[in-house]
Amino acid sequence: MTICSPSLPQVSQRDTISRCFSCAYPAQEVGDRQGETNALGYLGNLYLSLGQFNPALEHYEKHLGLARTLGDRPGEARALQGLGNTYLQLGNLELALEYHHQNLALVRAMGDGAGEGAALGCIGNVYDDLHDYAQAATYHRQDLAIARQIGEKRAEAAALGNLANAESELGQYEQAVEHYGQALAIARQIGDPLSEGLTLANLGETLTKLGQYDAALAHLEAGIDILQEQGAQSLEASACKYLGPLYQAIGDRERAVGAFDRALALRAGL
């Protein structure tokens, strides 16, 4: 499995949750409905990134209801996307698809190209979890085409990485390596170290599958170093886990065990 998108450091998220609460409820008291709906959306995002899925659902549902009452279509789209992403994390893939398709229809009606690309990518992610990688790749290609059309480099890098993930699962390793390489170049160009580390790790895993063990090790170690520097402990754990099969493939069982132990220790510290 390839590594999914990261969350932000938890301390700053908790601080931001506190600030959002301090905004949401005064906004409610003074009748600032737009301020209230914005704060509800921010809180949903933060709870989702903290893995607190029930509070995330509660705030996204309130956000959705209020956005619809206000006729705030961009807010409605964000709430639908948040609900879809939360149900994906909960493993309720049917509901995740339902909300993401509602979002896709809405952003298309609005003529929101960036929103359409994001919705397509989200649907692709659900199909990844359904292990329907061919369908996932179809959606990620559409996302990629839109990102390139509108010149959104960060979205392009994400779409390339997601497409490469699906291709790797389909056994299309050469294509995956090509797309990871393109994603890596963009991550470096725009100065996104977390995306760079993530892509290096995923590329290393795919190179392992190709039997290119020296290159795989170099990419994995570089990715792990960056993820460690960024404090992305969950992603670092996943990347360390990729080292296990690599060391097993070259017959170094001791290092394979060490890699798995390191991944477990990092997970235990989350």
Residue 126 tokens read as 């659900």
**Is 249 within a domain?**
yes
Residue with tokens 């993530």: 198
**Is 145 within a domain?**
no
Q: Is 53 helix (H, G, I), strand (E, B) or coil?
A: helix
Residue where a domain terminates, one of 55, 85, 104: 104
Residue 166 tokens read as 């699906």
Residue with tokens 């963009």: 186
**Is 224 within a domain?**
yes
* Rounded mean pLDDT, 235-264: 93
DSSP 8-state assignment for residue 132:
-
Predicted confidence (pLDDT) at residue 194 exceeds the cutoff of 50: yes
Q: How confident is the model over 26-71, as pLDDT tens digits?
A: 555 546 688 889 999 999 999 998 899 999 999 999 999 999 999 9
Give the separation between CA 52 and CA 23, rounded to whole angstroms.
Answer: 20
Residue 135 sits at the vertex; the CA angle it makes with 129 and 136, to the nearest 5 degrees, is 50
The CATH code of the domain that includes 208 is 1.25.40.10
- State how many domains the chain has: 2
Q: Given this model, what pLDDT does residue 5 score?
A: 43
**Is 228 within a domain?**
yes
Residue 207: pLDDT band by 50, 70, 90 thresholds?
very high
**Is 146 within a domain?**
no
Q: Given this model, what pLDDT does residue 31 score?
A: 60
Q: Given this model, what pLDDT does residue 9 score?
A: 36
Give the separation between CA 86 and CA 56, rounded to whole angstroms.
Answer: 7
With beta carbons less than 8 A apart as the criterion, state whether 25 and 40 touch: no
**Is 144 within a domain?**
no
Q: Rounded to 5 degrees, what are φ and ψ at 88? A: -60, -45
Residue with tokens 């992610």: 125
* Rounded mean pLDDT, 126-145: 98
Q: Report the candidate in 258, 200, 189 with the shortest Cα–Cα distance to residue 227.
A: 200
Predicted confidence (pLDDT) at residue 242 exceeds the cutoff of 70: yes
With beta carbons less than 8 A apart as the criterion, state whether 2 and 202 touch: yes
* Rounded mean pLDDT, 179-205: 98
Q: Report the candidate in 119, 124, 194 with the shortest Cα–Cα distance to residue 165.
A: 124
Predicted confidence (pLDDT) at residue 227 exceeds the cutoff of 60: yes
Q: Given this model, what pLDDT does residue 36 score?
A: 87
Residue where a domain terminates, one of 104, 122, 157: 104
Output 236-245 pairs: Cβ under 8 A, ≥24 positions apart.
Answer: 236/266, 237/262, 237/263, 237/264, 237/266, 237/267, 237/270, 238/3, 238/201, 238/263, 239/3, 239/197, 239/201, 239/204, 240/266, 242/201, 242/204, 242/205, 242/208, 243/217, 245/208
Q: Report the candidate in 230, 222, 231 with the shortest Cα–Cα distance to residue 203.
A: 222
**Is 152 within a domain?**
no
Rounded to the nearest integer, the mean pLDDT of the chain is: 90
Q: Report the candidate in 197, 203, 158, 198 with the shortest Cα–Cα distance to residue 176.
A: 203
With beta carbons less than 8 A apart as the criterion, state whether 267 and 235 touch: no
**Is 54 within a domain?**
yes
Predicted confidence (pLDDT) at residue 139 exceeds the cutoff of 80: yes
Q: Which domain holds residue 46?
A: 12-104
Q: What percent of the chain has pLDDT over 70?
A: 88
* Rounded mean pLDDT, 123-138: 98
Residue where a domain terminates, one of 104, 138, 164: 104
Q: Given this model, what pLDDT does residue 18 score?
A: 52
